[in-house]
Amino acid sequence: MRKPFVAGNWKMNLNRAEAVALATAVAAIARENAGVEVGIIPPFVYIDAVVGAVNKAPLGVGAQDVYFEKSGAFTGEISTAMLADLHVKYVLVGHSERRHVLGENDALLNKKLHCVLNAGLTAILCVGETLEQRKAEKTFDVCRTQLVEGLKGVDAAKASQLVVAYEPVWAIGTGLNATKEQAQEVHAFIRKELAGILSQAAAEGMRIQYGGSVKASNAAELMSQPDVDGALVGGAALKAEEFAGIVAAAGKSKA
């Protein structure tokens, strides 16, 4: 049985006080939903303050990105050691905004992923197709390539440190979520690919989150699908009440 995992990606939002207030509210949500793994992924500069606000609640803190070098002359970058030092648990690798706005490619993301795993942290590898790719019926090809290239050289023994997020690019921040059938179809495909890339056991144990316009009102439906093991939430993660609804829906549908 895979424990559902709901994480809030705060992206480039909030100020310090707002981040601390939201983390405090989500800490309470996490305490009330023991059946769900809950995470928050604030901007780098607020990680330290947010970790303090979480205190001892069962709430993991993540980072939105990382650089793959250990240390040195890499102005503006952040290492896994720095993140581990702040008690960070998860790192997003290959979020669609990193791929499509910041131009990160699969080879770079593979280096980042190895670095995260070697540091003992959990990588959330994000994959997903654009609208043009979906229209051209390339969804499976795109997801397969992003998985194969992103996970190149990864040992199946590291599967417990891996989460995949399926985030169709056309659904991110648009209010247009995938239907439950569309999500399930791609999630099942991803799990099958993971079995080939890693192992059957690894694939069965790994959580595959859905991301893209998840809200309290559509979470239950999406999470009712057998291969949808949680959500990676953007906009709706910035409102505690909305996020609480998503976490509760994940707990209920997988109970």
**Catalytic residue ranges:** 95, 167
- Return the SS3 of 236: helix
- Which of the ranges 14-22, 128-136, 196-204, 233-241 carries the binding residues for ligand PGA, by CB under 6 A? 233-241
Nearer to ligand PGA by Cβ, of 129 and 167: the residue is: 167
Residue number with CB closer to ligand PGA (154 or 233): 233
Size of the site for ligand PGA (CB under 6 A): 13
CA Rg value for the chain: 17
Q: How many CB atoms lie within 10 A of CB 78?
A: 18
Nearest 5°: the CA angle 57, 122, 187 is 105
**Cα 180 from Cα 182, distance rounded (Å):** 6
Q: What is the contact mask toward ligand PGA in residues 179 to 218, using x (rule: CB under 6 A)?
A: --------------------------------xxxx----
| Rounded CA separation 55/30 (Å) | 12
Closest to 100 in 3D by CA, of 172, 26, 183: 172
| Positive or negative: CA dihedral 71, 164, 230, 178 | positive
The distance of closest approach from Cβ of residue 155 to ligand PGA in the complex, given in angstroms and rounded to an integer, is 27
Candidates 232, 247, 248, 250: give the one binding ligand PGA (CB under 6 A).
232
Minimum CB separation from ligand PGA for residue 70, in Å? 28
Which residues of this chain interact with ligand PGA, rule CB under 6 A?
Answer: 9, 167, 172-173, 211-214, 232-236
